[in-house]
Chain A
Amino acid sequence: MTRKKKGKTKVTVYPAWCKGCGICAAFCPAKVLEMGPDGKARAVREEDCVNCGFCELHCPDFAISVEPADPEKNGKSAEDESPAEESALPAREHAGENQPG
Chain B
Amino acid sequence: MANVTQVIHKYLRHNKKFPLVFCPGCGHGIVLGSLVRSVDALNIPQDKVVVVAGIGCSGRIAAYVDFNTVHATHGRALTLATGIKMSNPELTVIAVMGDGDAFSIGGNHFIHAARRNVGVTALVLNNFIYGMTGGQCSSTTPFGAYSHTSPFGQLEKSFDIVDMARASGANGVFRESVFHAKRLDALLQKALSRPGFNLVEALTPCFTQYGRNNKFKTPVDMFSWLKKYAVPIEKYEKLENKDGYIPTGVFVEKEEPGLEARYAAMRDSLRAGKGGAA
Taking beta carbons and an 8 Å cutoff, which residues of A are in contact with B? Answer: 16-23, 26-27, 51-53, 56-68, 90, 92-94
Contact = CB atoms under 8 A, between A and B. Distances in A.
12 contacts: A19-B25, A21-B24, A21-B219, A21-B220, A23-B25, A27-B223, A57-B33, A58-B30, A58-B178, A61-B29, A62-B8, A67-B2
Given A27-B223, A57-B182, A62-B5, A20 B33 contact: no
A64 B85 CA distance: 36
Contacts, number: 85
Contacts of A67: 2-3
Contacts of B214: none
B59 to A, nearest CB: 16
By secondary structure, the A interface counts as loop
A61 B219 contact: no
Interface range, B side: 20 to 34
B179 interface: yes
A95 to B, nearest CB: 11
Given A56-B1, A57-B182, A60-B25, 12 more contacts: A21-B25, A21-B26, A22-B218, A57-B1, A60-B30, A60-B33, A62-B5, A62-B8, A66-B1, A66-B5, A68-B2, A93-B14
B24 A19 contact: yes
Contacts of B182: 57
Contact of A65 (B6, B19, B25, B33): B6
B224 to A, nearest CB: 8
Interface in B43-92: none
Contacts of B5: 56, 59, 62, 64-66
B4 interface: yes
Interface in B133-173: none
B194 interface: no
B78 to A, nearest CB: 25
B22 A60 contact: yes
Contacts of B262: none
Contacts of B215: none
B64 to A, nearest CB: 10
Contacts of A19: 19, 23-25
B219 A63 contact: no
